[in-house]
Amino acid sequence: INAEADYAGLLADRKAHIGRNLSISYQEPLKIVRGALQYLYDDKGRTFIDCVNNPSHVGHCHPTVVRAMQQQIATLNTNTRYLHDHLVDYANSLISTLPPSLEVCYFTNSGSEANDLAIRMSRHYTQQQDVIVLDHAYHGTSTVAMQLSPYKFDGKGGFGQPAHTHKALNPDQYRGAYRYDDAQAGPRYAADVQDIISRLQANGKGVAAYICETLLGVGGQIPLPPGYLQEAYAAVRAAGGLCIADEVQVGFGRVGDAFWGFELQGVTPDIVVMGKPIGNGHPLAAVVTTRAVADAFNNGMEYFNTFGGNPVSMATGLAVLQVIREEGLQEHARVTGNYFMEGLRKLKAKHAIIGDVRGHGFFIGAELVRDRETLEPAVPEIDVIVEAMKQRGFLLSTDGPLHNVLKIKPPMVFNKANTDALLHHLDAVLDSL
Q: For residue 222, which phi and psi values (nearest 5 degrees)?
A: -120, 120
In the bound state with ligand PMP, the residue whose beta carbon lies nearer, of 187 and 361, is 361
Q: Any residues with CB less than 8 A from the CB of 173 and at least 6 apart, and which? A: 179, 180, 182, 185, 222, 225
In the bound state with ligand PMP, the residue whose beta carbon lies nearer, of 116 and 356, is 116
Binding marks (x or -) toward ligand PMP, 156..195, rule CB under 6 A?
A: ----------------------------------------
Nearest CA to 58 out of 410, 407, 365 is that of 410
In the bound state with ligand PMP, the residue whose beta carbon lies nearer, of 134 and 366, is 134
Binding span for ligand PMP by CB under 6 A among 132-140, 181-189, 203-211, 374-382: 132-140
Among 38, 80, 97, 112, contact with ligand PMP (rule: CB under 6 A) = 112
Residue 246 makes contact with ligand PMP by CB under 6 A: yes
DSSP 365-415: EEEEBS-TTT--B-TTHHHHHHHHHHHTTEE-EEETTTT-EEEE---TT--
Among 249, 265, 280, 330, contact with ligand PMP (rule: CB under 6 A) = 249
Residue 115 makes contact with ligand PMP by CB under 6 A: yes
Q: Shortest Cβ distance from residue 313 to ligand PMP (Å)?
A: 13
Q: Shortest Cβ distance from residue 133 to ligand PMP (Å)?
A: 11
Residue 248 makes contact with ligand PMP by CB under 6 A: yes
Residue 40 makes contact with ligand PMP by CB under 6 A: no
Q: Shortest Cβ distance from residue 246 to ligand PMP (Å)?
A: 5
Q: What is the CA radius of gyration of the chain?
A: 22
CA distances from 161 to 158, 213, 367, 401 (A): 9, 19, 27, 16
Q: Shortest Cβ distance from residue 110 to ligand PMP (Å)?
A: 3
Binding span for ligand PMP by CB under 6 A among 134-142, 165-173, 361-369, 390-398: 134-142
In the bound state with ligand PMP, the residue whose beta carbon lies nearer, of 343 and 361, is 361
CA gap 122, 245 in Å, rounded = 12
Nearest CA to 359 out of 338, 377, 376, 379 is that of 338
Residue 217 makes contact with ligand PMP by CB under 6 A: yes
Binding span for ligand PMP by CB under 6 A among 11-19, 69-77, 244-252, 256-264: 244-252
Q: Helical H runs in 181-274?
A: 185-202, 228-238
Binding marks (x or -) toward ligand PMP, 71..110, rule CB under 6 A?
A: ---------------------------------------x
Q: Shortest Cβ distance from residue 55 to ligand PMP (Å)?
A: 8
Torsion of CA 96, 77, 279, 320, to 10 degrees: 60
Among 106, 138, 340, 362, contact with ligand PMP (rule: CB under 6 A) = 138
Angle at 295 between CA 291 and CA 298, to 5 degrees: 140
* C-alpha atoms less than 13 angstroms from C-alpha of 114 in its C-beta half-sphere: 30
CA distances from 21 to 5, 18, 53, 137, 156 (A): 22, 9, 21, 20, 12
Residue 310 makes contact with ligand PMP by CB under 6 A: no
Interface residues with ligand PMP (CB under 6 A) are 110-112, 115, 138-141, 213, 217, 246, 248-249, 275-276
